[in-house]
Amino acid sequence: MTRAVFLDALGTLLELEPPWVPLRSKVPADVTEEALVSAVRNEMDYYREHAHEGRDVESLADLRERCAALISRQLEFPVTAQELLDSVRFDPYPDAVPALAELRDRGLSLVVVSNWDCSLETVLDGCGLNRFLDGVVTSAGAGSRKPDPGIFRAALELAGCRADEALHVGDTPGEDADGARAAGIRALIVARDGGGDGDRAEGGARSADGVNRIASLGQIVQHL
């Protein structure tokens, strides 16, 4: 019996608005759209690799300064850490609140498990999702980042359940599915773009890698 559902944040519960859109007004007109998008994508890649280093206010501030310095070097124009932070805006996917509410009504423990810095709870609160959650486990707090199973073990401890009583839902097979299964936890991949087979059947379908795909978070209940 499933007692807890773990959920990834970005790409699963949260959607990132393109940061280069608000940054456009902060950089000179002679910076091409291609150059701006490239610089932002490189900064995003850097952040993903180093998010676990933002463990507290001080280390997070340092990480943000490094990200701003990286994008400034590529654009050859100074972008401050605050300007970069202001350009990062998240929205919950339309299916997030209804799915979390239904899982909550079923009495399941809900824990977000994400490669993220220590600010994730604040982000989730700003998106109106914290009220449905029993806890948040980040790579920064756990000292382990997906696909390492350590971050999932921290989530199991927080949820107070065994691995065979948990289900993890994410959008990245290499991090979410592989990491969860390494910890003995069943995995489910949400493929909203139809990249899997979840849009071809009411409850989703199993792909060649043995991981179930779903088209929306509303289908989680069919895999409990």
Within this chain, do residues 49 and 71 fall inside the same structural domain, yes or no?
yes
Model confidence over 186-204: pLDDT tens digits? 999 999 886 544 334 344 5
Model confidence over 48-57: pLDDT tens digits? 999 999 999 9
pLDDT at 7 over 90: yes
Within this chain, do residues 81 and 130 fall inside the same structural domain, yes or no?
no
**CATH for 163:** 3.40.50.1000
Residues of the domain holding 165: 4-15+90-223
Residue that terminates a domain, selected from 86, 115, 132: 86
Residue that terminates a domain, selected from 40, 59, 86: 86
Q: Read off the tokens for 149.
A: 């199973």
Within this chain, do residues 219 and 158 fall inside the same structural domain, yes or no?
yes
Q: What is the pTM of this model?
A: 0.90
pLDDT at 123 over 90: yes
Burial class (CB in 10 A: 0-12, 13-18, 19+), 34: exposed
Within this chain, do residues 134 and 160 fall inside the same structural domain, yes or no?
yes
Q: What confidence score (pLDDT) does residue 193 get?
A: 80
- Mean pLDDT taken over the chain: 93
Element of type H or E holding 46: helix 33-50
Number of domains in the chain: 2
Mean pLDDT of 164-170: 98
